[in-house]
Amino acid sequence: MRISTNMIYSLGVRGINEQLAATLKLQQQISANRRMLSPSDDPVAAAQALTVQQRQDINTQFSTNIDYATSALAYEEVQLGAAVDIFGRLKELAIQAGDTTLTPSQRSGIAVELRAHFDSLLGIANTKDETGQHMFAGYKGDTPPFAGSVDGGVTYLGDDGQRQMQISPSRIIETSDPGSAVFERITTGNGVFSTTYAAGNTGTGVIGGGAVSDPSAWVAPSGGSYTLTFTGGGTTYELYDGATLLSSGTYTSGDAIPLQDATGLPVVSFGANVTVTGTPADGDSFSITPSTSQSLFTTLSNLIHAVESTGTSDADVAEYRTDIRVAMGELNNAFDNVLRVRNAVGSRLTEIETVGSINSDLNLQYATTLSNLQDLDMAKALTDLTLRQTNLEAAQKSFVAVSQLSLFNYL
């Protein structure tokens, strides 16, 4: 084969360029600490790296969501903790108010403090979170959820929505609780029924909250409530469902009065009883009504108005004692409800912490996988660079030597 001078130069330059390009590529890889500078370097690894990077980006967003959810729930837990502290004082004041020997000025002082705590709880219920949204308004974060006062009543203006945040591919967690669930839906009475006196009672009879031995046996009154009426100078009682007499018996102060239907045989027990203490007047009556839901603020308003009442007759005192007993029972129900919500918030915080730990491990795993796919083996790269530099130098020197060869040097 005839080798021309032009071919010698072309092949020599091409060899030098190839070595120079390979050396430059290694230098760029070392500078970037990346094995793949473009997808063409390793198409399979590049596709895998893209998939892993996308998953890592999603996981990073979950981590951001976890931080937000943790902050929101931690702030709610603080507010609920403040409410629990106020409940402790409210129960102390209710117990103090139950002392019927208090003077009007002493009761007035208790009422003033109760009003202050009412306003404090209303403030907590209308608290804003760190984003400026009302925490207990449901989805209506721009609207103060509670409006009103002790004397005018409090209205809930929010909704039942629970704001949520996705913290993992399979978990969406609630980051708030609506005020309706925290402060509104408080069970009255003992959870099955509630008791109170009828307006116009003149005796000193005081009805208790009642006891339920078998909730499954409870039969709701068809007339809306059962009525316990005293006759015979307050020595006998009669239990009515509307106008229907269900049972009767001799009254002894403090003895349990069974709630039952004795109109037929066998007697049908409602699985509950009530007690009345004191001396009811002839015709005095008490109502036994299935439990419903009531706002915490309604309970507090009733307590405050009872403490501020000024009646001094024996019947007034009996009614006062019943009002305080009812308020204390419903305060306990409200306290239990706030504790339930607070415990649920704590459980969610614990779950978020667990998911956050898993997310951190996933981020580490994604980073490791990306490193294996993309990062450069620096020791090997430096060795290859040295080899390429040697090859380049050899190509350059050999080209110089070959390019200087000429037949005329030997003539």
Residue, of 49 and 265, whose pLDDT is higher:
265
pLDDT band at residue 165 using 50, 70 and 90 as cut-offs: very high
Q: CA-CA distances (angstroms) from residue 127 to 75, 130, 144, 174, 177?
A: 10, 10, 8, 18, 12
pLDDT band at residue 223 using 50, 70 and 90 as cut-offs: confident
Q: Please name the residue that has the structure tokens 């080899």.
A: 387
Q: How far apart are CA 261 and CA 264, in angstroms?
A: 7
Residue, of 388 and 48, whose pLDDT is higher:
48
pLDDT band at residue 162 using 50, 70 and 90 as cut-offs: very high
Element (DSSP H or E) covering residue 211 = strand 211-212
Please give the pLDDT value at position 371. Answer: 63
- The per-residue pLDDT for range 329-379, each reduced to its tens digit, is 999 999 999 999 999 999 999 999 999 888 888 888 877 776 666 655 555
Mean pLDDT across 131-160: 94
Please give the pLDDT value at position 365. Answer: 84
Mean pLDDT across 315-329: 94
Number of alpha carbons in the 13 Å side-chain half-sphere of residue 165: 21
Which of 31-40, 198-207, 272-281, 389-398 comes out lowest in average pLDDT?
31-40
Mean pLDDT across 188-211: 94
Mean pLDDT of the chain: 86
Please give the pLDDT value at position 177. Answer: 95
Q: For 4, phi and psi rounded to 5 degrees?
A: -90, 160
% of the chain with per-residue pLDDT over 90: 65
Q: Where are the beta strands (DSSP E) in 266-367?
A: 268-277, 285-290, 293-294
237 beta partners: 230, 249
Please give the pLDDT value at position 367. Answer: 73
Please give the pLDDT value at position 368. Answer: 75
pTM value is 0.79
Q: Does pLDDT of 32 surpass 60?
A: no
pLDDT band at residue 57 using 50, 70 and 90 as cut-offs: confident
Asked if residue 270 lies in contact with residue 217, where contact means CB atoms within 8 angstroms, the answer is yes
- The per-residue pLDDT for range 176-185, each reduced to its tens digit, is 999 999 999 9
Kindly give, in sequence order, each residue whose CB lies less than 8 Å from that of residue 160, ignoring residues fewer than 6 positions away.
138, 178, 180, 181
How many residues are listed for the chain in this entry? 411
Q: Angle at Cα 394 formed by Cα 388 and Cα 397, nearest 5°?
A: 140
Please give the pLDDT value at position 1. Answer: 56
% of the chain with per-residue pLDDT over 70: 79
Residue, of 42 and 359, whose pLDDT is higher:
359
